Amino acid sequence: MSCPHGEHVPSRPAWRCRACGAPWPCQPAKLRLLAEYAGNMPSLMVYLVALREEAAEHLAELASATPPKNLHRRFTDWVPVHRSK
């Protein structure tokens, strides 16, 4: 799979990276998102939760069943969360 400029963006409805073919968000996409949302992790989480829900719907339709388990790990568990003391 190739994408103009090597952008690591999702290919819907399969949710694979257009540049590298890995499940999206792939490692380069995660690094880009962390840089884009530096200092604003709550907004990144909101964005990723919305994408996770969209992916769950698409993947369930593709499989004619339920979406893959543990999409939260793929979409949100990698985001650093710092709690205030």
Spell out the residues 6+ positions from residue 31 whose beta carbon is closer than 8 angstroms to its own.
Answer: none
pTM of the full predicted structure? 0.83
Domains of the chain by residue range = 4-75
At 2 the pLDDT is: 44
Phi, psi of 56 (to 5 degrees): -60, -45
Beta bridge partners of 10: 17
pLDDT at 85 exceeding the cut of 70: no
| Predicted confidence (pLDDT) per residue in 24-69, tens digit | 999 999 999 999 999 999 999 999 999 999 999 999 988 776 667 8
Phi, psi of 75 (to 5 degrees): -95, -30
